[in-house]
Amino acid sequence: MGKTTYMRLRGSRHLRQRLVLATLTATPIVVKEIHSDDTFPGLRPHEVSLFRLLEKITDHSLIEFGESGTELLYKPGVLIGGKNLVHDCGLSRSIGYFLEPLILLGLFGKKPLSIRLKGITNDSKDPSVDTFRTTTLHMLRRFGVPLEGLELKIESRGAPPLGGGEVLLRVPIIPNTLTATHWVDEGMVKRIRGITFSTRVSPQIGNRMVYAVRGVFNNFIPDVHIFTDHRSGPAGGRSPGYGMSLVAETTTGCLISADIASTEKADEMDEDTEEKPEVKTPEDIGIEVASILLGEIKQGGVVDSTHQGLLFLLCALCPPDVSKVRVGALTPYGIETLRNIRDFLGVKFVIKPDTSTNTVILKCVGSGMKNIARKIS
Amino acid sequence: SKWKESLIARTLMRQNGNLMQLVYGQSLSNSAAASQKERESSESDESEDGNFFIPKGQREKMADEKFDDNDINAEDCSKFKTKLRKWSDENLISSIRDRFVTGDWSKAAQRGKLANDGE
């Protein structure tokens, strides 16, 4: 065996995407200067947890951390997947942080993935588990992923800071490749659905949020239906919290999502930010999430800004066929995704703005990623 | 007014050409320029009192400024926070009225048609 050449990267930015792409393309990587300028240098707890998760679903992968924790070496192994896995996501980031890479990796595994994730189910930083269930999983259908076997079950909820939630994720493997998609028609918003959650607080809070949301959407559309999910006892986790996730469904089946959760998290990592953020009332939460959703609708595009990265990745992982998608204004995360795709997969998108609607149309030829780990039967 | 329209169109055209460059091309030259700028500024800092001690508020401000393209340790977060607007505003409401099925369908169809012509 010859000497392995490593792709050299700097910083912890987009670590998840880089790890996913490195694993899928079997590119060994070296990352340096991870949080090297911070007061507490080195990898964050959630980043270490992410590596532990990678170790669980792959075989023969090699992960080494530098002594100071600001450097790491990753040599991807074979993606396996597997059943009845359990992973504790920790409390520094919510489960949403781990779901995004897991979904992509699960599709290209050898066996269908079924994993139980423990930690924080809803917070404001990452997409909540509700958004994943209602929006992200349905996005995969556009790329030829069978919906059966694709499931996210919320067994118990956990709000920050103490978490205590538990979800069960099942991802099927794709038979061979994804299918390229031509997805530019946004359609018109025909209905709005949503779900509120409340844990360890008065069950009335759910209704208060719904009431506030309805007030905003009354100007637009009557078909608004929001479920309330109140959890008490052990199913409610260990911290009080509430929030909601909204989805706008269009006539062409595009799903635009927005979510938010109450912030009561005191950050132990940064002592600078000692002043406690004001606790938002349920009414504030409702109005804010509705405003976010309307903002996303105004932006246009077939997905919301949160899902741009995943959309581009899926397009780039398609067989060598033309995919065409429309999004609203490119987000910084989306732009960085496009760069990572170019670096790892060698796929360059043709990006053309559509001035009449202020949206952006992206075209690409997929890299022809195949599920090679799959057992041929 | 009418004379402005051609100007607006031209500005938009210019922006469009830059989008590919924005994503793939410019980042290298951009970061090089930024690092140069950083070096210059750090030199001037050191001449005063070194940049070891930074007032509490200023560090946050610096972090804010750093958040554009070049922060290699930016938080890995797919959610993008946009500025919230007040959606009770009548103008704002009418600006997205036709994105809903309760709005004008012919206008929405036009929107889709324009997109197809753009190919």
Q: How far is A262 from chain B (nearest CA, A)?
A: 15
pLDDT of the residue at A172: 92
Query: Chain B contacts of A11, Cβ < 8 Å?
Result: 71-74
Q: What's the CA gap between A352 and B13, in Å, rounded?
A: 11
Domains annotated on chain A, with CATH: 7-179 (3.65.10.20), 189-265+275-299 (3.30.360.20)
In the numeric block, which tokens belong to residue B11?
């500005």
End-to-end CA distance of chain B: 29
In chain A, what is the straight-line distance between the N-terminal and C-terminal CA atoms, in Å?
30
pLDDT for the residue A312: 95
**SS3 assignment for B16-84:** HHHHHHHHHHCHHHHHHHHHHHHHHHHHHHHHHCCCCCCCHHHHHHHHHHHCCCCCCCCCCCCCCCCCC
Cβ neighbours of B118 in A, within 8 Å: 352, 354, 356, 361
Tokens of A172: 């099927």
CB < 8 Å to B27, chain A? 339
Which chain A residues have a beta carbon less than 8 Å from that of B78?
A: 100, 126-127, 306-310, 333
Check A356 against B111: CB less than 8 A apart. yes
Note the pLDDT tens digit of each residue in A3-36: 788 999 988 888 999 999 999 999 999 999 898 8
Find the CB nearest B93 among A100, A219, A351.
A219
Could you please report the per-residue DSSP string of A40-99? Answer: S-S--HHHHHHHHHHHHHEES-EEEE-TTSS-EEEE--EE--EEEEEEE--SSS-HHHHH
Of residues A295, A330, A354, nearest to B85 (C-beta): A295
> Nearest Cβ partner of A297 from B20, B23, B99?
B99
CB contact under 8 A, B16 and A310: no
Strands A151-156 and A113-119, bridge-based pairing: unpaired
- What is the pLDDT of chain A when averaged over all its residues? 89
CB A16 within 8 A of CB B74: no
* Regions in chain B scoring below 70 on pLDDT: 12-17, 26-70, 112-119
Number of A:B CB contacts under 8 A?
146
List chain B residues with CB under 8 Å of A306: 78-80
Closest among B78, B30, B82, B29 to A334, alpha carbons compared: B78
Interchain contact, A348 vs B93, CB within 8 Å: no
Could A357 and B111 be called an inter-chain contact, meaning their C-beta atoms sit closer than 8 Å? yes
Collect all residues of chain A within an 8 Å Cβ-Cβ radius of residue B108. 188
| Closest partner CB to B115 (pick from A13, A184, A251) | A184
DSSP symbol at A301: B
Q: Distance (Å) from the C-alpha of residue A121 to the closest C-alpha of chain B?
A: 15
Nearest-5° Cα angle at B25, B20 to B26:
110
* C-alpha–C-alpha distance, residues A366 and A101, integer Å: 19
Q: Taking CA atoms, what residue in B is nearest to A348?
A: B24
Q: Which of A220, A263, A272, A360 to mutate to test the interface with B (most CBs of B within 10 A)?
A: A220
pLDDT number for residue A371: 83
Residue B105 pLDDT? 83
One pLDDT digit (tens) per residue for chain A, 377 residues? 567 889 999 888 889 999 999 999 999 999 998 988 888 888 999 999 999 999 999 998 999 998 888 999 999 999 998 999 999 999 999 999 999 999 999 999 989 999 999 999 998 889 999 999 999 999 999 999 988 889 999 999 999 889 899 999 999 998 888 999 999 988 899 999 999 999 999 999 999 999 999 999 998 999 999 999 999 988 999 999 999 999 999 999 999 999 999 876 444 444 444 555 668 899 999 999 999 999 999 988 999 999 999 999 999 999 999 999 999 989 989 999 999 999 999 999 999 888 788 899 999 999 988 887 665 54
- A97 vs B contacts (CB less than 8 Å): 76
| Distance to chain A for B48, nearest Cα, Å | 21
Domain residue ranges of chain B, discontinuous segments joined by + = 1-69, 84-119
A298/B96 Cβ within 8 A: yes
Q: Are B69 and B25 contacting, i.e. CB atoms less than 8 angstroms apart? A: no
Q: Is the ipTM of this complex over 0.85?
A: no
CA–CA separation, A136 and A145 (whole Å): 12
Contact A305 B72 (CB under 8 A): no
B71–A189 C-beta distance less than 8 A: no
Rounded-to-integer distance, Cα B20 and Cα B22, Å:
5
Inter-chain contact B22–A335, Cβ cutoff 8 Å?
A: yes
